[in-house]
C-alpha cells in the first residue's frame, strides 16, 4: 500500500530523518514514539504529502505519493498544528474539503462522525474563536468526513476531554476492523493498544519495539533515547 524507501529529511544542515524505510499494509495500525523534536511529525507530514523528502521515495500502490494524490481523499491527515482558516466558520472549513453532496454532509452532522464529535454545537462559530479542544475536534472531522482509507494522526487526542478521547478510540477500533489503515503519534497509552506495530524514532531512524511496553518500561525506553539525543550518559 505505502512503501517508504530510504527517506531522508533535513532542516537546513540538521539531519532529521536518515534512510527511513517502512512498508505499510492495509489494515495496519502503526504507532510512532519518541522524544519531542525527534522527527515524528516530520515523518507523518512526508507520508501525508505536505512535505517532500530530501532523499528517497514514498510510494502509494507503486506510484509516487504527491500532493495531488494526498488531497484526492485517499488520505486523511490530522496535523499537530491547527489547520483551520481562522476567518471561516466551522461549517465553511469543513465544506472546503468535503467531497460529498449537501445531503450527505447534513447526514454526517446529524448521525455520522461529525455528530459524534459534537461539531453541530458550534458549527457557525468562526474558527478563530474556538477553544483548543474544539479546534482539534474540527481538525479530526475534516480528516474523517470523506471516509479515507488511510488516516495519518499526529497526536489526535491532544486537548480533548476524556469522553471525546474514548469516542475516537472506539471509532478507530471499528475503522481498523473494517480494513482502514492508521499511522499515529501519541502520548496516550490507551491508543497504543490499537497498534499492530510500534516504532521508536531516534537519531533519525526507526527502531521497531515491543507493542506491549507500557508505564515505567516505556518511559525508561523513551528517556534513554532522549538522553542519547542530548549526549547525556
Q: Give the residue numbers spanning the domain of 73.
A: 2-230
The DSSP line for 112-159 is: SHHHHTTGGGGTTSBGGG--HHHHHHHHHHHHHTT--SEEEEESTTTT
- The rounded Cα 82 to chain-centroid distance in angstroms is 13
- Tell me how far apart the alpha carbons of residues 217 and 215 are, in angstroms, rounded to a whole number: 6
Averaged pLDDT, 51-69? 84
pLDDT band per the 50, 70, 90 thresholds, residue 232? low
232: helix, coil or strand?
Answer: coil
Share of the chain above pLDDT 70, in %: 92
* Residue 217, domain CATH: 3.40.50.300
185 has a pLDDT exceeding 80: yes
Averaged pLDDT, 43-72? 84
How many structural domains are present in the chain? 1
Closest by CA to 155, choosing from 59, 33, 22, 69, is 33
Q: Mind listing the pLDDT tens digit for each residue in 31-50?
A: 998 888 889 999 999 999 88
pLDDT for res 14: 87
Amino acid at each position: 500500500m505505502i512503501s517508504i524507501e530510504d527517506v531522508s529529511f533535513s532542516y537546513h544542515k540538521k539531519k532529521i530523518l536518515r534512510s527511513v524505510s517502512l512498508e505499510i499494509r492495509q489494515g495496519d495500525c502503526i504507532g510512532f514514539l519518541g522524544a519531542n523534536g525527534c522527527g515524528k511529525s516530520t515523518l507523518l507530514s512526508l507520508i501525508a504529502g505536505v512535505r517532500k523528502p530530501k532523499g528517497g521515495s514514498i510510494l502509494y500502490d507503486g506510484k509516487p505519493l504527491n500532493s495531488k494524490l494526498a488531497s484526492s481523499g485517499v488520505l486523511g491527515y490530522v496535523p499537530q498544528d491547527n489547520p483551520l482558516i481562522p476567518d471561516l466558520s466551522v461549517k465553511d472549513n469543513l465544506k472546503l474539503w468535503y467531497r460529498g453532496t449537501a445531503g450527505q454532509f447534513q447526514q454526517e452532522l446529524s448521525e455520522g462522525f461529525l455528530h459524534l464529535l459534537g461539531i453541530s454545537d458550534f458549527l457557525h462559530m468562526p474558527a478563530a474563536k474556538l477553544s483548543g479542544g474544539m479546534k482539534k475536534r474540527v481538525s479530526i472531522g475534516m480528516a474523517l468526513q470523506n471516509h479515507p482509507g488511510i488516516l495519518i494522526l499526529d497526536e489526535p487526542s491532544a486537548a480533548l476531554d476524556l469522553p471525546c478521547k474514548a469516542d475516537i478510540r472506539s471509532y478507530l477500533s471499528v475503522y481498523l476492523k473494517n480494513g482502514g489503515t492508521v499511522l499515529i503519534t501519541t502520548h496516550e497509552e490507551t491508543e497504543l493498544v490499537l497498534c499492530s506495530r510500534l516504532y521508536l524514532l531516534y537519531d533519525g531512524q526507526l527502531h521497531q519495539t515491543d507493542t506491549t511496553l507500557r508505564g515505567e518500561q516505556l518511559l525508561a525506553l523513551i528517556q534513554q533515547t532522549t538522553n542519547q539525543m542530548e549526549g547525556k550518559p
